[in-house]
Amino acid sequence: MTDEIDDRGFTAPTEFTIRANRAVAESLPLDDPQDFEDARRGLIAGDPEMAISRGENVLAWNMPGYDFIEGEAPHSVNPSLWRQAKLNNIHGLFEVTKGIYQLRGFDLSNLTIIEGKTGWIMVDPMIAMETTAAAFEFAKKHLEPKPVVAVIHTHSHIDHFGGVLSLIAPDDVKQGKVRIVAPEGFIEEAISENIIAGVAMARRAEYMYGRGLPFSARGHVDTGLGKGPAMGRIGIIEPTDIIDRTPQELEIDGIRFIFQNAPESEAPAEMTFFLPEMKAYCGAEIVSKTLHNVYTLRGTKARDALKWSNYIDEAIDLFGDAEVYFGTHHWPVWGNARVVEFLKKQRDIYKYIHDQTLRMANDGFTPREIAEQMDYPESLRTTFSNRGYYGTPQHNAKAVYTYYFGWYDGNPAGLNPLPPVESGKRYVRFMGGAERLLRNAQASFDEGDYRWVAEVLNHLVFAEPDNQAAKNLLAKAYDQLGYQAESGPWRDVYLTAAYELRHGTPEGNEHLGAAFGMLKHIPLPRFFDAMCVRLNGPEADGRNMVVNISFTDKQETYVLTLENSVLHHKKSDPDPAANASLKLTHELFLRVFTGQVNLADAAGTGELELDGDPNDLMQFFSLLTRPQGAFNIVTP
């Protein structure tokens, strides 16, 4: 069956994969209708043609692309993930309870709308301006026309703030017409993840979310958390109200909110809230209809699983009389007993993984050994909201270990290993050469030992990146691992790896261009933090410089000092001894930074003023790298 290849090169599921997926189907009550009833409850209107444009012939969102997800799971998709994908296909405008509405299926996350006394309170604008605008326009066809009076960001991940500029104007916030409520540290953490580490994280996210994969039974089907991230423009606005304690009450447009501050849980800056008059609890993302990530495959700070569990326990104590739960992903839960049971099982899954990881670590087990043994009791294992559709018990256990002990597992063989290419060459030589290794890998593939095939062939591909036979067989192993994965991200990672082994690395990414609306509204000190990490330290060795940058529209000057191959920034008066001084608008500087405008060209148009040595200034900017983001992952 493996010779049946589709038009993207993906091979057919083998008998080993078919048996593995059949065993999953037999172990779970996949025909339980409760989640489907909940996911459809309160539907006001749907849009079967929900395709949202972000430019000529380019879509930000394509919900009809998932229409193939119906009926029984094909052999090439884990049946548990297929069930989750069918649930996440249910989309539209829903009434959660009187005064609370949700738009689901317009992006990876939900847009929640709460009715205030005079206007709408928007919870978690989604990833992109395009999808957020389309969702709100759809809602306005069915809801009373009112202005947006407040925005609540439950946490610092981009799918909960990126679309904000499509709902409100920054000037309305400055003039006090709109409030923005967010947890303590929101801006700092949003910038840290999306700007300072954004380029590398965006590239890794292509794997985690399968952005280059077709929507098909052998490609991308779901992330487990939602269908997938939208691709469009993003923005951010500084909050007007900060949540920094628990409980913290605010009245927003006549509605009473009780907030729970939950930092270092699912996000470094996160909060939940309760609406006492409606008996409604918004769990943000500390609870979801999946096991979440204690560490995400795109690469974020490891999360504190114990604190995470404790926050859910605290929520049960504080808001245990809730009659409805709603979240920033997935569908709600109704009825007090069901809400409390759902919260308890979410609480216990994170604590179980935390406690058992530490138990085994204290017995001397390493991360890989712990992950191999990590499973959980039947009461948690057979609850669909605890299944590993997004996070997995295996990589979450490694994350808990890393949180406490770091990357080193204590075995000195891992203290200073050779880099992948040099290591690969030696492995291949020790295994008798490329031809023998490839023959043995094929035999292991024929036995269904795909994890081992991936491990050994990875060495061969890094040793001989032009060995197409090795890349082809490794891609076939990744196909099967992807087809068997219950986790949407695991599936997408494996299948993206297979695709790139066959077709090569894609060209570039549009991270900085898409983030222009975000760069424009972040505090300047945080922007310069992001600029500092682009300094090429080895190239800067021995060079000392001072550059003044004055923003004519903000009446602010920053002095940039380069010494010891480190770039520092400070808001102050211009340094009279600077090598060069630059005066320009903030927006023009951002266009230079993002590569939209060449510095020399801008100088020629008179849009900026330069004092000092222009050669020093050009040399300074030449030390700042401009990463394209399309680095290799499965090849050297």
CATH code, domain carrying 89:
3.60.15.30
User: What is the reported pLDDT for 256?
Assistant: 98
Question: In whole angstroms, what is the distance from residue 547 CA to residue 582 CA?
Answer: 8
Tell which residue, 181, 431, 402, 216, has the closest CA to residue 296. 402
Number of domains in the chain: 2
pLDDT surpassing 90 at residue 23: yes
pLDDT in tens, 137-159: 999 999 999 999 999 999 999 99
Mean pLDDT for 509-525 is: 74
Question: In whole angstroms, what is the distance from residue 116 CA to residue 256 CA?
Answer: 10
pLDDT surpassing 90 at residue 405: yes
User: What is the reported pLDDT for 57?
Assistant: 83
Tokens 């009461």 found at = 379
Within-domain flag for 418:
no
Within-domain flag for 54:
yes
Band the pLDDT of 599: cuts 50, 70, 90. Answer: confident
Band the pLDDT of 510: cuts 50, 70, 90. Answer: low
301 or 275: which leads in pLDDT: 275
Mean pLDDT for 237-255 is: 98
User: What is the reported pLDDT for 140?
Assistant: 97
User: What is the reported pLDDT for 509?
Assistant: 57
Asked if residue 146 and residue 288 are part of one domain, the reply reads yes
Mean pLDDT for 309-336 is: 98
Within-domain flag for 471:
no
247 upstream amide cis, omega within 30 of 0: yes
pLDDT surpassing 90 at residue 252: yes
User: What is the reported pLDDT for 2?
Assistant: 45
Residue 566: which domain range? 523-622
pLDDT surpassing 60 at residue 128: yes
Please give the angle made by the CA atoms of 519, 522 and 523, to the nearest 5 degrees: 135
Tell which residue, 69, 64, 67, has the closest CA to residue 52. 64
Band the pLDDT of 133: cuts 50, 70, 90. Answer: very high
Within-domain flag for 444:
no
**Structure tokens of 339?**
């809400």
Question: In whole angstroms, what is the distance from residue 403 CA to residue 361 CA?
Answer: 12
Tokens 């809230």 found at = 273
User: What is the reported pLDDT for 300?
Assistant: 86
Strand partners, 551: 556, 584
User: What is the reported pLDDT for 517?
Assistant: 74
Mean pLDDT for 259-282 is: 97
Within-domain flag for 335:
yes
Rounded percentage of the chain residues whose pLDDT exceeds 70: 98
Domain boundary among 340, 373, 405: 405
Band the pLDDT of 512: cuts 50, 70, 90. Answer: low
User: What is the reported pLDDT for 324?
Assistant: 98
Mean pLDDT for 129-140 is: 97
Band the pLDDT of 119: cuts 50, 70, 90. Answer: very high
Band the pLDDT of 508: cuts 50, 70, 90. Answer: low
Tokens 């409760």 found at = 34
pLDDT surpassing 70 at residue 222: yes
User: What is the reported pLDDT for 586?
Assistant: 92
The letter for the amino acid at 136 is F
Within-domain flag for 366:
yes
Domain boundary among 405, 424, 440: 405
Domain boundary among 352, 380, 405: 405
Q: DSSP per residue over 242-267, as a string?
A: EE-SSSEEEEETTEEEEEEE-TTSSS
Asked if residue 389 and residue 532 are part of one domain, the reply reads no
Band the pLDDT of 187: cuts 50, 70, 90. Answer: very high
Mean pLDDT for 441-464 is: 98
pLDDT surpassing 70 at residue 399: yes
Tell which residue, 482, 520, 521, 513, has the closest CA to residue 499. 482
Within-domain flag for 464:
no
User: What is the reported pLDDT for 513?
Assistant: 57
The letter for the amino acid at 243 is I
User: What is the reported pLDDT for 156?
Assistant: 95
pLDDT surpassing 70 at residue 511: no
User: What is the reported pLDDT for 55?
Assistant: 81
Phi and psi torsions of 282, nearest 5°: -95, 110
User: What is the reported pLDDT for 6?
Assistant: 87
Band the pLDDT of 1: cuts 50, 70, 90. Answer: very low
User: What is the reported pLDDT for 3?
Assistant: 52
User: What is the reported pLDDT for 629?
Assistant: 78
Rounded percentage of the chain residues whose pLDDT exceeds 90: 86
Mean pLDDT for 230-242 is: 95
* Strand-pair category, 333-334 with 148-152: unpaired
User: What is the reported pLDDT for 138?
Assistant: 97
Within-domain flag for 201:
yes
Question: In whole angstroms, what is the distance from residue 161 CA to residue 145 CA?
Answer: 23
pLDDT surpassing 70 at residue 584: yes
Mean pLDDT for 35-55 is: 94
pLDDT surpassing 90 at residue 591: no
CATH code, domain carrying 592:
3.30.1050.10
